[in-house]
């Protein structure tokens, strides 16, 4: 008797999974512990483990399809064994408008008139929007939102929740009430963007236009992190003679290359950021101008043999600078992967001290937050820190013509005890060269 | 307004009540000659003499029971437990005798005793000395439980406690003893059972008490500055009687609640609060009630880790952001 | 074996053989007038008949929970409480009916409390183990073995603090002497020279375990370790109880000195009426005590021999006690139960005195 493998529940909030690709094909022998397929949940892509020995007899779901939890994925049994297509887990159908017939003699089962019986197994092409019915039929709504909906006459069944797990919360009802009554939409409203830049339904406390009164006066206790940041930065700004060099970089080639690479690498789940290139380019520039890869020390100027570029990550109540070791030895993709992991764990406060100490140079990037240019405070014992601004479209002179260019401003804060103006300038030019010829960073 | 430490504020309350009422007696381990294990009673022996300031042996069941017996005859003993953690060796006296004698006598006997001392973790003294028994105490009808967070509250509430005709258990905090705050001059009495809004806000109510109030205020500051979230901090001050009305008024304003408590989570003060809030303000809630408690294990010794076991500003911040989500 | 030894030893002390108390000549007893002597006898009988009546009520399911009877120990409570002055106080454990009657509480309110009625001395909120009469300096009535002893020490502390000449008698059974709180109280009493007398009513059994099997050494002699005086007396002889206790009470009142007194007594009933009585002692032992040492019989012989009492008087007093106990049961039966509304009364002083309440917030939860 063949074993039918169903779509497992792989996360707490998962209701359907996408079968990304099959790792075993029909007719292939499989054994317990083998990975059968990759399944993407609402949280992650995970491998589907096989718990049986035998042969993969049938695949019921093609790669790319969405399958509800409990619906069959494949069958495993003896070679040649015949497999019946199992019935799919019925997708909850909307209640028929007409009352169900209650005739005493049960008629032979007829196809249900309203909901078309899905061809088993129930598969939904990935391109189609997930049917609302797959998720819980019960509307998740906070008690307050339910009460407000009743007061304002809002039909909350038509409101999309923006709270955790799609819960309809006060703001959703307020937004719905503010909108003119929409014609009865045939389908549920499209899923709301997760972006915090919401419109009317954004959280009131997130709004910069919030007319709430000035905050009450109070004093916040200092966290250990805050204390450390304060001590180190005061020490830096008061003992290190800072000076600043600024250079503008043509960011168009980098943008084009990045777009191209991301289009190609996207299928592998890789997405390179501007910062990944800057980290790589900084490492390359430090190799070219090693005088910047140094530290002031009472005993003398210490020139570092290896390039360890750190980058600032904003976290809950401060910031931290995880380090990518041997940055110059790593590819942009490696750097990207490592930076993502470090950044994620930094936000979770799960970095080990070894992961945020020992950097020889630091990059601080506020470009993604729309800051055009800024100067940073040196992170001791580094001799310099690079402040990266946003890529800005602006008029530039090119071949005596004013054209639209893409420019990025880089500001280097230097410790004058270690780095003189000319040295810093050489470094920035090296950096500019690399960033304007980004393909070189890939070789 | 004069600035006093929490420790001094308690001492002033004791001194003023000793002065006011000759039936008030301070008893406890090392409260007299030694000047108090945490210097709360410093100087009181010199001022009031050995009849009023009484050093006891290390004998919690004995001397607490003695205090309960004396209170039945009209003495107003203020008993110091060097740590509230030692309540367990005097449990029968505190929670069988003090808590029940009025009821079992059909209201014939009163027990106007105050038992006070520190009840907190965070000082790396391990599991045996880090208990926060306010939930256990408040579970007993007949008693009152006070957990002040500031110097002014400590003074005003202790004066009320000493004047109260029911047994009052007053839980202080060794980490607050040195905290300074303004304390009104002259007669300063804070009634038991009155919560205090320590910070006004509109987006989230943090209900808390004791040292967690300070952590919550620190987190509220960060939430305002970095997240634009306006957080109201309600300091319960007294656990029993409980000022639920102030909590409910705040919930009606913010519609979101985070309870912060230095308690083990199971059947804590926060558990009771959460029950009452959902029961009485269900239709005001825009999100589930969140609760941040001590990480559920005996108090760990390891100093840096104990900080993370207890509520602290960053844990409060994280919990608040979840409650705001 | 122990039981046998006891029983044979007791035979020699048969009341009918030695009817007169060796303590009759003690000044505290010599001073007693005829009516006062009869009153001692009457009180013991009233206790006995009250206990017997309550046992019947218990068996008729009128009484819930535990019922610890004082039958056999009457001379202890009556002898001790008969010595109380205005600033003397009494506290005891859960075998508390005898002391309650001895300090003058009425049988009606006591029986009604057993029946769980609103007319009970604690309004039906305390039950058998929790009788209180602060107006008679009687502070209970406590359920936990030894837990009342620190409280009794505190009563003495309060007496001394107030500068009054009085003493507290803190009663306990022989099973309580091994509780830690008792020893803490011993230490405090001696350390601070408090006027408290720790009275050990040694009935031979701590629940169902004999003294020999539960306590090392002499019970009162432990006082020596705390630098306290101590004594023993014959709890079957109310005169002896009075004579010995008077000495130590004076010492407490006049010199503010504590003491431990062990009073040897015996209970005829189980630890509680619901407990089996035949696992740890022989019926013959009980019968032997009844026959030879019963405190009421002993004292009756004493008073008969003194010419204070006649057989007819004794019969009349007994009949009156029975009638009073029956009337108490009738009173209890006829009394109303407290109502569910009463459950949350008498919890907080403040809740019961709303006009004087200073605190705010909720005192009760649901």
**Domains, chain C, ranges and CATH?**
2-7+32-337 (3.40.50.970)
Q: Which of B88, B24, B91, B82 is nearest to B57 (CA)?
A: B82
Q: Is A324 within 8 Å of A310 (Cβ atoms)?
A: yes
Cα–Cα distances in Å, from A193 out to A166, B71, C192?
A: 12, 65, 76
Cα–Cα distances in Å, from A100 out to A62, A67, A96, A116, B314?
A: 35, 28, 8, 16, 57
The radius of gyration of chain C's CA atoms, rounded to the nearest angstrom, is 21
pLDDT at A208: 53
B104 and C180: CB-CB below 8 Å?
Answer: no
C125 and B106: CB-CB below 8 Å?
Answer: yes
Residue C130 C-alpha, separation from nearest chain B C-alpha, in angstroms:
6
C142, C183, C358 ranked by CB distance to B160: nearest: C358
Q: Is C357 within 8 Å of B192 (Cβ atoms)?
A: no
A144, A205, A225 ranked by CB distance to B229: nearest: A205
A142, A224, A225 ranked by CB distance to B285: nearest: A142
pLDDT at C14: 47
Residues of A designated catalytic: 416
Of the residues B198, B313, B325, the best mutation for testing chain A's interface (the one with the most A CB atoms within 10 Å of its CB) is B313
User: A223-232, B112-121, B142-151: which range is least confident on average?
Assistant: A223-232
pLDDT at A211: 56
Nearest residue in C to B165, CA atom: C349
pLDDT at A262: 86
Q: Regarding predicted confidence, which is higher, A1 or B212? A: B212
Residues of B in contact with C142 (CB under 8 A): 97
Residue B219 C-alpha, separation from nearest chain A C-alpha, in angstroms:
7
A219 and B286: CB-CB below 8 Å?
Answer: no
Nearest residue in A to B216, CA atom: A220
Q: Is the pLDDT of residue C6 over 70?
A: no
pLDDT at A20: 86
B9 confidence band (pLDDT: 50, 70, 90): very high
B215, B222, B324 ranked by CB distance to A317: nearest: B222
A220 and B217: CB-CB below 8 Å?
Answer: yes
Q: According to the 3-state scheme, what is the secondary structure of C207-259?
A: CCEEHHHHCCCCCHHHHHHHCCEEEEEECCCHHHHHHHHHHHHHHHHHHCCCE
Query: Residue B238 pairs with which residues in a beta bridge?
Result: B146
Coil/strand/helix, residue A306: coil
**A147 lies within 8 A of chain B by CB:** yes
Each residue's pLDDT tens digit, B88-108: 999 999 999 999 999 999 999
Residues of C in contact with B57 (CB under 8 A): 184, 187-188, 191
Length of chain B: 325
Q: Which of C251, C303, C296, C243 is nearest to C29 (CA)?
A: C243
Q: Return the H-helix or E-strand segment holding A177.
A: helix A170-178
Peptide bond into C141 cis (omega under 30): yes
B228 and A205: CB-CB below 8 Å?
Answer: yes
Domains of chain B are 3-182 (3.40.50.970), 196-324 (3.40.50.920)
Give the separation between CA C108 and CA C131, rounded to whole angstroms.
13
Residue C1 C-alpha, separation from nearest chain B C-alpha, in angstroms:
37
- Backbone angle region of C283, left / alpha / beta, with phi > 0 → left and psi within -120 to 50 → alpha: alpha
C320 confidence band (pLDDT: 50, 70, 90): very high
- Backbone angle region of C214, left / alpha / beta, with phi > 0 → left and psi within -120 to 50 → alpha: alpha
User: What percentage of residues in chain C have a pLDDT greater than 70?
Assistant: 93
Residues of A in contact with B235 (CB under 8 A): none
B and A touching (3 or more beta-carbon pairs closer than 8 Å)? yes
Q: Is B255 one of the annotated active-site residues of the chain?
A: no
For the purposes of burial, counting CB atoms within 10 Å of the CB of C134, is it exposed (0-12), middle (13-18) or buried (19 or more)?
middle
User: In the 8-state DSSP scheme, what is residue B64?
Assistant: H
Taking residue A259's Cβ as centre, other Cβ atoms within 10 Å add up to 11
Taking residue C306's Cβ as centre, other Cβ atoms within 10 Å add up to 14
- Torsion angle defined by CA atoms of residues C60, C63, C67 and C69, in that order, rounded to the nearest 10 degrees: -60
Give the separation between CA B202 and CA B223, rounded to whole angstroms.
12
C and B touching (3 or more beta-carbon pairs closer than 8 Å)? yes
Residue B233 C-alpha, separation from nearest chain A C-alpha, in angstroms:
11
Buried b (16+ CB within 10 A) or exposed e, A140-150: ebbbbbbbbbe
Q: Residue A279 — φ and ψ, nearest 5°?
A: -60, -45
Query: Residue A54 pairs with which residues in a beta bridge?
Result: A30
pLDDT at A349: 80
Query: Residue C196 pairs with which residues in a beta bridge?
Result: C168
Give the separation between CA B141 and CA A46, rounded to whole angstroms.
53
Q: Which of C153, C72, C137 is nearest to C105 (CA)?
A: C137
Give chains near A: 3+ CB pairs under 8 A: B
Taking residue A367's Cβ as centre, other Cβ atoms within 10 Å add up to 23
Residue B136 C-alpha, separation from nearest chain C C-alpha, in angstroms:
15
Q: Residue A369 — φ and ψ, nearest 5°?
A: -105, 15
Coil/strand/helix, residue A139: coil
Cα–Cα distances in Å, from C267 out to A44, B114, C281?
A: 76, 39, 12
Domains of chain A are 3-77 (2.40.50.100), 143-203 (no CATH), 227-442 (3.30.559.10)
Residues of A in contact with B224 (CB under 8 A): 215
Nearest residue in B to C135, CA atom: B108
User: In the 8-state DSSP scheme, what is residue C362?
Assistant: B
**C337 lies within 8 A of chain B by CB:** no
- Backbone angle region of A257, left / alpha / beta, with phi > 0 → left and psi within -120 to 50 → alpha: alpha
Q: Is B17 one of the annotated active-site residues of the chain?
A: no
Residues of B in contact with C149 (CB under 8 A): 65
For the purposes of burial, counting CB atoms within 10 Å of the CB of C223, is it exposed (0-12), middle (13-18) or buried (19 or more)?
buried
Residues of C in contact with B92 (CB under 8 A): 144, 147, 181
Residues of A in contact with B182 (CB under 8 A): none
Q: Which of A152, A424, B104 is nearest to C123 (CA)?
A: B104
Residues of B in contact with C191 (CB under 8 A): 57
B104 and C130: CB-CB below 8 Å?
Answer: yes
CB hemisphere CA count around C157 (13 angstroms): 35
For the purposes of burial, counting CB atoms within 10 Å of the CB of B32, is it exposed (0-12), middle (13-18) or buried (19 or more)?
buried
- Torsion angle defined by CA atoms of residues B302, B308, B309 and B314, in that order, rounded to the nearest 10 degrees: 160
Question: Would you list the DSSP string of B237-272?
Answer: -EEESB-HHHHHHHHHHH--EEEE-SS-STT-HHHH
Taking residue A134's Cβ as centre, other Cβ atoms within 10 Å add up to 16
Q: In the predicted model, what is the mean pLDDT of residues B313-322? A: 97
pLDDT at A430: 93
User: A47-61, B71-85, C58-72: which range is least confident on average?
Assistant: A47-61
CB–CB contacts below 8 A, B to C: 198
Alpha helices by DSSP H, listed for B144-258, are: 151-163, 212-227, 244-254
Per-residue pLDDT of chain A (443 residues), as tens digits, is: 788 888 877 665 667 888 888 999 999 999 877 889 888 876 567 778 787 788 999 899 888 888 887 888 899 998 888 888 777 654 444 444 444 444 444 444 444 444 444 444 434 334 433 334 334 457 889 999 999 999 988 889 888 888 888 899 999 999 988 876 544 444 444 443 344 443 444 444 444 555 555 666 777 777 777 888 888 899 899 999 999 999 999 999 999 888 888 888 877 777 899 999 999 999 999 999 999 999 998 888 999 999 999 999 998 778 889 999 999 999 999 999 999 999 988 888 888 888 888 999 999 999 988 899 999 999 999 999 999 999 998 898 888 889 999 999 999 999 999 999 999 999 999 999 999 999 888 87
pLDDT at A201: 41
Coil/strand/helix, residue A85: coil
- Backbone angle region of A318, left / alpha / beta, with phi > 0 → left and psi within -120 to 50 → alpha: left
Each residue's pLDDT tens digit, B260-305: 999 999 999 999 999 999 999 999 999 999 999 999 999 999 999 9
pLDDT at A191: 41
Q: Which of B281, B216, B321 is nearest to A164 (CA)?
A: B321
Give the separation between CA C206 and CA C116, rounded to whole angstroms.
27
pLDDT at A33: 75
pLDDT at B183: 97
Largest CA distance in chain B: 58
pLDDT at A277: 94
Put simply, the chain B residues between 266 and 305 with a CB less than 8 A from any chain A CB are 282-287
Q: Residue A25 — φ and ψ, nearest 5°?
A: -105, 165
Q: Which of B80, B310, B324 is nearest to B208 (CA)?
A: B310
pLDDT at A212: 57
Coil/strand/helix, residue A151: helix
C149 and B57: CB-CB below 8 Å?
Answer: no
Cα–Cα distances in Å, from C6 out to B215, C63, C284, C293?
A: 69, 34, 11, 12
Peptide bond into B241 cis (omega under 30): yes
**Inter-axis angle of helices C107-114 and C34-59, to 10 degrees?**
20
CB–CB contacts below 8 A, A to B: 85
**A215 lies within 8 A of chain B by CB:** yes
Give chains near C: 3+ CB pairs under 8 A: B
Coil/strand/helix, residue B183: coil
Give the separation between CA C15 and CA C24, rounded to whole angstroms.
15
Nearest residue in C to B146, CA atom: C359
Put simply, the chain B residues between 155 and 214 with a CB less than 8 A from any chain A CB are 199-203, 214
The one catalytic residue in B8, B12, B17, B129 is: B129
A208, A220, A316 ranked by CB distance to B218: nearest: A220
Give the separation between CA B271 and CA B317, rounded to whole angstroms.
20
Nearest residue in B to C170, CA atom: B69
C305 CA to centre of own chain: 27
Taking residue A374's Cβ as centre, other Cβ atoms within 10 Å add up to 15
């Amino acid at each position: 008797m063949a074993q039918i493998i169903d779509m497992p529940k792989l996360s707490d909030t998962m209701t359907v999974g996408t079968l990304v690709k099959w790792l075993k094909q029909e007719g292939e022998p499989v054994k317990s512990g083998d990975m059968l397929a990759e399944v993407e949940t609402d949280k992650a892509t995970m491998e589907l483990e096989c718990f049986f020995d035998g042969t993969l007899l049938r695949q019921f779901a093609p790669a790319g399809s969405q399958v509800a939890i409990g619906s069959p994925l494949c069958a495993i049994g003896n070679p040649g064994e015949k497999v019946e297509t199992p019935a799919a887990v019925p997708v909850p159908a909307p209640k028929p408008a007409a009352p169900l017939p209650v005739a005493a003699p049960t008629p032979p089962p007829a196809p249900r008139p309203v909901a078309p019986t899905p061809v088993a197994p129930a598969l939904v092409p990935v391109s189609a929007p997930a049917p609302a019915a797959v998720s819980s039929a019960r509307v998740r709504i906070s008690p307050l939102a339910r009460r407000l909906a009743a007061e304002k006459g809002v039909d909350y069944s038509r409101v999309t929740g923006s709270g955790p797990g799609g819960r309809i919360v006060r703001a959703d009802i307020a937004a719905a009430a503010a909108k003119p009554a929409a014609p009865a939409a045939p389908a549920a409203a499209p899923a709301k963007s997760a972006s915090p830049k919401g419109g009317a339904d954004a959280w009131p406390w997130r709004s910069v236009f919030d007319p709430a009164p000035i905050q009450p006066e109070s004093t916040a206790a200092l966290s250990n992190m805050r204390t450390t940041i304060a001590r180190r930065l005061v020490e830096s700004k008061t003992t290190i003679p800072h000076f600043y060099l600024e250079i503008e970089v043509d960011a168009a080639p980098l943008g084009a290359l990045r777009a191209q690479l991301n289009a190609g690498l996207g299928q592998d789940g890789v997405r390179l950021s501007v910062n990944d290139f800057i980290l790589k380019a900084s490492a390359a520039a430090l190799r070219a101008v090693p005088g910047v890869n140094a530290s002031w020390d009472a005993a003398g100027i210490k020139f570092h043999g290896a390039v360890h570029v750190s980058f600032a990550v904003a976290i809950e109540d401060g910031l931290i600078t995880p380090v990518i070791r041997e940055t110059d030895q790593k590819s942009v993709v490696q750097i990207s992967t490592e930076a993502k992991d470090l950044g994620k764990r930094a936000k979770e406060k799960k970095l080990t001290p070894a992961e945020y100490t020992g950097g020889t140079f630091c990059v601080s990037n506020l470009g993604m937050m729309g800051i055009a240019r800024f100067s940073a405070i040196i992170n001791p014992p580094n001799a310099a820190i690079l402040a990266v601004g946003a890529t800005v479209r602006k008029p530039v002179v090119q071949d005596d013509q004013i054209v639209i260019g893409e420019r990025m401003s880089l500001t280097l804060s230097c410790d004058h005890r270690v780095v003189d103006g000319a040295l810093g300038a050489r470094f920035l030019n090296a950096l500019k060269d690399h960033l304007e010829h980004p393909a070189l960073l890939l070789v | 307004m004069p600035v006093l430490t929490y420790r001094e504020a308690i001492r002033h309350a004791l001194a003023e009540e000793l002065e006011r009422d000759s039936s008030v007696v301070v008893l406890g381990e090392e409260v007299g000659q030694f000047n108090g294990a945490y210097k709360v009673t410093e100087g009181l022996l010199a001022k009031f003499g050995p009849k009023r300031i009484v050093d006891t042996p290390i004998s919690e069941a004995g001397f607490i029971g003695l205090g309960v017996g004396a209170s039945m005859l009209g003495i107003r003993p203020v008993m110091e437990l060097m740590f509230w953690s030692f309540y367990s060796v005097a449990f029968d006296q505190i929670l069988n005798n003090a808590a029940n004698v009025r009821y079992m006598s059909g209201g014939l006997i009163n027990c106007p005793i105050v038992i006070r001392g520190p009840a907190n973790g965070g000082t790396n003294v391990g599991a045996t000395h880090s208990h926060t028994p306010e939930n256990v105490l408040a579970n007993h009808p007949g008693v009152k439980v006070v957990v002040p967070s500031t110097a002014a509250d400590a003074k005003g509430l202790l004066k009320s406690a000493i004047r109260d005709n029911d047994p009052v258990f007053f839980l202080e905090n060794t980490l607050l003893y040195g905290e300074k705050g303004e304390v009104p001059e002259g007669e300063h009495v804070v009634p038991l059972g009155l919560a205090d809004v320590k910070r006004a806000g509109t987006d989230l109510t943090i209900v808390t008490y004791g040292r967690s109030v300070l952590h919550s205020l620190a987190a509220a500051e960060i939430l305002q500055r970095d997240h634009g979230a306006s957080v109201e901090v309600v300091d319960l001050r007294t656990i029993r009687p409980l000022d639920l009305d102030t909590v409910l008024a705040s919930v009606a304003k913010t519609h979101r609640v985070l309870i912060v408590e230095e308690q083990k989570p199971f059947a804590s003060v926060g558990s009771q609060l959460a029950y009452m809030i959902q029961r009485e303000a269900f239709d005001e809630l825009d999100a589930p009630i969140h609760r941040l408690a001590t990480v559920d294990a005996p108090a760990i010794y390891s100093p840096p880790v104990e900080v993370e076991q207890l509520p602290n500003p960053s844990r409060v911040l994280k919990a608040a952001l979840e409650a705001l989500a | 074996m122990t039981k046998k030894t006891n029983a044979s030893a007791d035979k020699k002390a048969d009341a009918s053989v030695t009817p007169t108390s060796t303590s009759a000549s003690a000044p505290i007893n010599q001073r007693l007038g005829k009516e006062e002597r009869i009153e001692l006898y009457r009180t013991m009988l009233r206790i006995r008949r009250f206990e017997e009546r309550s046992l019947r009520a218990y068996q008729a399911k009128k009484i819930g929970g535990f019922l610890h009877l004082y039958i056999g120990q009457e001379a202890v409570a009556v002898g001790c409480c008969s010595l109380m002055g205005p600033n003397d106080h009494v506290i005891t454990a859960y075998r508390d009916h005898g002391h309650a009657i001895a300090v003058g509480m009425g049988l009606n309110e006591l029986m009604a409390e057993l029946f769980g009625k609103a007319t009970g001395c604690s309004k039906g909120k305390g039950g058998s183990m929790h009788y209180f009469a602060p107006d008679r300096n009687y502070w209970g009535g406590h359920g936990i073995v030894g837990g009342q002893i620190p409280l009794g020490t505190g009563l003495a502390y309060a007496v001394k603090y107030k500068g009054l000449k009085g003493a507290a008698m803190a009663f306990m059974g022989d099973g309580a002497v091994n509780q830690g709180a008792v020893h803490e109280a011993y230490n405090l009493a001696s350390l601070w020279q408090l006027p408290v007398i720790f009275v050990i009513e040694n009935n031979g059994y701590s629940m169902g375990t004999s003294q020999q099997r539960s306590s090392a050494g002499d019970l009162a002699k432990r006082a020596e370790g705390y630098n306290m005086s101590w004594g023993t007396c014959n709890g079957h002889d109310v005169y002896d109880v009075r004579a010995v206790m008077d000495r130590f009470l004076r010492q407490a009142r006049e010199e503010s000195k504590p003491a431990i007194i062990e009073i040897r007594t015996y209970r005829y009933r189980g630890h509680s009426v619901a407990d089996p009585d035949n696992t740890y002692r022989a019926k013959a032992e009980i019968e032997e005590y009844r026959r030879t040492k019963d405190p009421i019989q002993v004292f009756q012989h004493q008073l008969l021999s003194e010419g204070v009492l006649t057989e007819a008087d004794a019969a009349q007093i007994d009949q009156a006690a029975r009638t009073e106990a029956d009337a108490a049961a009738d009173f209890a039966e006829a009394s109303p139960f407290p109502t569910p509304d009463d459950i949350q009364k008498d919890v907080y002083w403040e809740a019961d005195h709303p006009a004087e309440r200073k605190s705010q917030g909720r005192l009760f939860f649901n």
